[in-house]
Structure 1
C-alpha cells in the first residue's frame, strides 16, 4: 500500500477518534476495511480519492464472491461512507461514490426447527403410564398443535381451553387475545392428562392452571425446557433445540403444507407480518433440501 494511502487512512482514523471517541476495536476494524479496499483498488492502479461508484459496487461484488458475510460487507460499506463524508468535508474528494449504493440486506438468523419425523420421535417418548409423562405429552402435543409461546403454555388456565371445540383463548404479548385451534391428537393428550395425571400432581391443593409441576404448582420455563431436552435426548435428536423449537416447527410445517402468512401471523400472535415472514425462508430451505435429496436430476 502506498505511503499516500497510509497517511490518508491515519488522518481519517485520527479524525473519527477525536470527534466520536470510538473504541480501539472499532477504529481497528475501520482501518482494516479501508486497507482492504485500497489494496483492491491498487490492483487496477486506482486510489481512494478517485474511486467511482462502479468501483465501489465491483468491490462489494468481489466480497460477495469471496464469501464475506453480509454483516462484514455492510460494515465495510459503512466505513467507506464515513471516509468519503470526511474526505468531502476536508476537500480531499469532489464526490461521494457511496451515495447511491444500498447497504446489503443482513437478514435475520433462521430459527432452529425440527422435521416432521423429528417431532414424531419426540412425541413418542413421554411415558403415559406416569403422571408426569401424561402432562409432558399434553404440553408437547399442544405446543406443536397451536404454536404457543412457552410463557403462554405454562400460564394456561382451564377457562382458556375447550377440548370439545378444539380451541383455546390466549393472552399474548401486550395482553392481546387470540383464538387458536388445535387438533384431535392434542385434545386426546389433554383429556388423558386431566383423567390420569393432573389430579395426582395437584394432590390436596387447588389451582386454575392447566399444567402443574410435580409439587402441584405452576410450571416454569426452565422446567419445561429441561423436559424437552430430556425427551429429545431419548429420541436421539442431535439438532440444536430451544424452548420455542416446537413453536418454530408448528409454523414451518404449516407453511410447508400450504398455510398462508396472514393466517400464520394470527395463529402465532405476531403484531407485524415481517416477523412471520422469517418462516418462509425456512420452508424454502426445506424444499430445496427435499429437491436436492429426491429429484433425479438435482
Structure 2
C-alpha cells in the first residue's frame, strides 16, 4: 500500500493498494485532492474490503451526470445552476470516491477546508445538501448502496442569515434615479411591487393589465398571484413598454432576459453615494417594510408578496419596527444637536431669539 504524488498530474496522488487482500487484484488510482484525503480514502477501502474499481459509474463523479439531468428536469433552472456551481467544489474532494468509502471524517475535513478558504458555514451546508440529495437519489435508483450515516453539517445557529437592513424610501429613490435606463424597470418592480429578481427579469407584456392596474405574477411553484401597480413611477415605466411583445426587459445582445444584473445595482449605489451591502432581494425586503409602515394589512401583503406562510410576512413587522426606531433616533439627534453651543444651535449661551424674548417680556 502506498500514496505518492502523481508526477504527471499536479495536485493528484497515486494510490497503490490491494483492497481484496494480497491475492486480490492490484489497484492503482490517481486521486485528486490533498494527501490526507487520499490516505483516508485508501484506509477506508482497505478497512471495508470494498471493490473500488475504476468503473466511473460507481464513483460519485460517475453518478453526477445522471443526477443533474434528473435534477434539471424536476427543479428550477436557477436551482440546477446553483447545484452545478457547488459541484465544482464537491468534485475536488469526493468526485473519485465511491459512496461506500465516504466517511464522517472525510466530510468533516471538507467542511474545515472550505471554512479555511473563507466560505461561510451556510454555504458549506448548502453544498453538502446537494451531495446528500445526489447520493439519496442514486441509492433509490440502484446506482449505489445507501450510505449508513447522515452527512454532518454545521448547526443551525451558525448558519442563520443576518437580519436584512432595508433601504429607506429616499435611498431607494436615489438608487433608481442613478440606474442605467435599461435596468430601471426590473428594479422598480422589485422596489415598488415586491417582485423577486427572476419574476421581475422575466415579466412579459401579457402579464400586465393596464386597465385594472395589476400584474399577474407567476411565482414559486408556478403559483400565480395578483400584484397591484402601486406607484406612478412604476406605471409610467410600464407604459413606455405598452406596445412591447413578450419580455418587457431583454439583454440587447442575446434578446433574452438578463441572467444577472447585480453589478448595475452596485454601480448605481456608488453613484448615489450609498455605502451599504446591497443585493437584489434587499429591494423586496424594503418594499415589504415600507408597505408595513404604510399600514398594509398583513394578509394582503402576504398575498402580494407570494408568501406561503404568514410567519414569513410577519418578519416585516419586526423590520418595520426597527425602521421606525431608526427614524425616531433622528428626532433625538435633532434635540441633542439643538442644545446651546451645538452645530445646529451655534448661538452663544443665554442669547434668545426675538420670539423667545417677547415671550419672556409677556411673562
The answer on 1:214 being equivalent to 2:252 is yes
Distance (whole Å) between structure 2 residues aligned to residue 118 and residue 286 of structure 1: 13
Measure, in 2, the Cα distance between the counterparts of 1:138 and 1:148. 11
2:210 to 158, 163, 167: 163
TM-score, normalised via structure 1 length: 0.55
Question: In the alignment, is the contact (CA less than 8 A) between 1:113 and 1:245 conserved in 2?
Answer: yes
Given the alignment of the two structures, is residue 275 of structure 1 paired with residue 312 of structure 2, yes or no? Answer: yes
Q: Which residue of 1 aligns with 2:292?
A: 255
Residue 130 of structure 2 is aligned to residue 116 of structure 1: no
Structure 1 consecutive aligned stretches of length 4 or more whose deviation exceeds 4 Å = none
> Is 1:125 aligned with 2:178?
yes
Corresponding residue of 1:95: none
CA distance in 2, matches of 1:108, 1:256: 23
Q: Deviations over 1:120-176 (max 9, x none)?
A: 10121135xxxxx1x322222222121000011111111111234321101111111
Unaligned runs of 5+ in 2: 1-102, 109-156, 337-363
Q: Secondary structure at the match of 1:124?
A: helix
Structure-1 residue corresponding to 2:236: 188
Counterpart in the other structure of 1:61? none
Q: Deviations over 1:31-63 (max 9, x none)?
A: xxxxxxxxxxxxxxxxxxxxxxxxxxxxxxxxx
Question: Larger % of helix: which?
Answer: 1
Counterpart secondary structure, 1:170: strand
CA RMSD of aligned residues (A): 2.8
Quote the offset at 1:239 in angstroms.
Answer: 0.8
Aligned to 2:199: 152
Paired residues, number? 182
Q: Deviations over 1:236-264 (max 9, x none)?
A: 11111111121111101001111122111
* Structure-to-structure mapping, 1:28-47, within 5 angstroms: none
User: In the alignment, which of 251, 267, 281 is matched to residue 230 of structure 1?
Assistant: 267
Partner of 2:174, secondary structure, is helix
Task: Quote the Cα distance in structure 1 between the aligned partners of 2:286 and 2:169.
Answer: 8
Q: Verify the 8 A CA contact 1:110 1:278 in the aligned structure 2.
A: no
Structure 1 residues 82-136: Cα deviation after superposition (integer angstroms, max 9, x where no partner): xxxxxxxxxxxxxxxxxxxxxx9x9863223211110110121135xxxxx1x32
Residue 236 to residue 193, structure 1, CA distance change in 2 (3 Å)? farther
Structure 1, unmatched stretches of 5+, are 1-20, 27-103, 128-132, 199-206
Matched with 2:138 is none
Length-normalised TM-score, structure 2: 0.45
**Contact persistence 1:138–1:193 (CA under 8 A):** no
Structure 1 residues 265 and 156 mapped into 2: Cα distance closer, same or farther (>3 Å)? Answer: same
- 1:193 positional shift: 4.6
Checking the alignment, whether the CA contact within 8 Å between 2:186 and 2:200 is kept in structure 1 is: yes
Q: Matches of 1:166 and 1:225 in 2, distance apart?
A: 28
